[in-house]
Amino acid sequence: MARPRNTESDALILAAAAEALLQDGYDGLVVDEIARSVGVAKTTVYRRWPTKNHLVVSVVAGWQGVVDVPNTGDEADDIANDLTTIAGGMCHVLDPAPIRRLVAELAAARMRDDDLGSAVDRLWSDRRAATAAVLERGIAGGALRRDLDPEVVTDELAGAVYYRVLITGGSLDDAYARALVRTVLAGAR
């Protein structure tokens, strides 16, 4: 049986790409330089990742890892805490300027390229699913209104954070996550 050489060079390429992104940001990642530094042909990289952005998505997916669903209980305060944990995690991950830049580039690239689009969508879907799971637990246990549409509430929570990341540039920290969850739960009226 042939040795899976590709897996090995894939890992080296991903590690080099991650280092370039961390050190020099989005513009600092140049596929040809990655190939040279790892000692593989450019075509080896492009066969696995058709564009720079495909490679970036793989790196970010590795950073993100598995998104846990927090579960401290079914009381109203527990649901609020669990939502704050998710929102706080998003604020923490997305606040640094280089990450904001990455997210913006991926959001734009997602629309230029359908194939890349589905890879990018998988990046956000884990945290979205975690939010929905907490909301559904809150509805089932009576902590949240029965007629609630979890999708709209997820849009409010994640939307506010991404709006600051991509549109207003507003700061993101634990205090903001708490204020956001409090306002989403209590309502404006």
Contacting residues toward its own copies, per CB under 8 A: 76, 97, 100-101, 104-105, 107-108, 110-112, 117, 121, 124, 128, 135, 138, 143-145, 148-149, 151-153, 155-156, 158-164, 166-170, 176, 179-180, 183-189
CA distance 68 to 88: 13
Q: In terms of CB distance, is 32 or 156 closer to its own copies?
A: 156
Q: What are the backbone dihedrals phi and psi of residue 75, each rounded to the nearest 5 degrees, phi first?
A: -70, 160
Cβ 2 to its own copies, closest distance in Å? 40
Residue among 124, 162, 134, 132 nearest 150 (CA): 132
Nearer CB in complex with its own copies: 40/130: 130
- In the bound state with its own copies, the residue whose beta carbon lies nearer, of 14 and 120, is 120
Distance CA 143, CA 49 (A): 45
Q: Which two tokens stand for residue 108?
A: 């734009």
Q: How far is the CB of 66 from its own copies (least distance, A)?
A: 20
